[in-house]
Amino acid sequence: MALARCPASCGEIIQGWILGSEKLVSCPVDWFSEVEVTAGSPLPDERPLTRAMVDRVLAHWQLPGELSREVRIDCRSDIPVAKGMASSTADIAATAVATSRHFGFSLDDATLAQLCVSLEPTDSTLFRALTLFDHNTAHTALPCPGLPEMDILLLESPVTLRTADYHRLPRRQALIASAQALECAWQKVQQACRQNQPSLLGEAALQSAVASQALLPKPGFHALLALVERHGLYGLNVAHSGSVVGLFLDRQRHDVEKIRHQLNRSSLRQHWPAHHLLRLVEGGVRES
């Protein structure tokens, strides 16, 4: 038996055309998918991508494919699906690590990333540090040392969008048009991590969120900006290929209940009816 868990992401801190291609820095939060791999028969309601990952792991370690029929996958996760919270990445990354451990092997981060992108575009939550990641090829993975101490009020929308559908949108021209802004945002992310400056991380995320409006606009965006300004929050980020939004703040400094009250009393309530107070955490798959 082997157990592993991987965090969700509140969208992306930044995503766009950086260093010659589309890349992202995910925003890992304390909401996890936990996967247990044991000997046994497959469950009838298992998630298809987790089974696909078991098969990829067996092939990677040059183990017989028939062993897949002797592996049971228990995936325990209540991360909202198809909203830009890296639910699939959390599932398959935890599955890869747990499956490898079940058979007596250990995966390094680079191999784990390659296995994940072989199934679908992948979030950088599988790395411990905030990481600039080529989510389509895994050819780039640039970590940022340090992690700003920060809370996030995640605004959940009822709207769903599959990552694969987002990637079918014609994006290249708009991505390249905002390349300069994203390069600036990437520099701010690195500085924010080095200096533990959540406000600078918020600035970077806001720059990327503004650029994302040309690709996947969020309803009530200007009202959200006004809310950030009114309460002196660090900034906001968005799911660039999903529907969630994150308000960057400090629960000790900012009045979270007042912010929630104003959200519920405004027109924003129809777009963001559910709110979750979370912490920015280290990424990476945790083994048990």
- Each residue of 68-86: pLDDT tens digit? 999 999 999 999 999 999 9
Give yes or no for residue 87 having a pLDDT over 90: yes
Give yes or no for residue 279 having a pLDDT over 90: yes
Predicted pLDDT at 165: 72
Section 248-272 average pLDDT: 96
Of all helices (H) and strands (E), which one includes residue 76?
strand 71-76
The CA distance from 30 to 19, in Å, is 29
Confidence of residue 288 (pLDDT cuts 50, 70, 90): confident
Give yes or no for residue 144 having a pLDDT over 80: yes
Query: In the chain, what percentage of residues exceed pLDDT 90?
Result: 95
Burial 212-240 (b: 16+ CB within 10 A, else e): beebbebebbeebeebbeebebbbbbbbb
Number of domains the chain contains: 1
- Each residue of 15-29: pLDDT tens digit? 999 999 999 999 999
Give yes or no for residue 163 having a pLDDT over 80: no
Q: Which of 182, 237, 258, 246 is nearest to 30 (CA)?
A: 246
The CA distance from 241 to 93, in Å, is 19
Predicted pLDDT at 168: 75
Section 122-137 average pLDDT: 98
Predicted pLDDT at 162: 77
Section 205-220 average pLDDT: 96
Query: In the chain, what percentage of residues exceed pLDDT 70?
Result: 100
Q: Which residues constitute the domain of residue 102?
A: 2-287
Q: 249 and 152 in contact (C-beta within 8 Å)?
A: yes
Section 250-259 average pLDDT: 98
Alpha carbons within 13 A on the beta-carbon side of 173? 2
Please report, for the domain that includes residue 167, its CATH number: 3.30.230.120
- Each residue of 109-125: pLDDT tens digit? 999 999 999 999 999 99
Section 33-44 average pLDDT: 96
Give yes or no for residue 166 having a pLDDT over 90: no
Q: Within 10 Å of residue 63's Cβ, how many Cβ atoms?
A: 14
* pTM for this prediction: 0.96
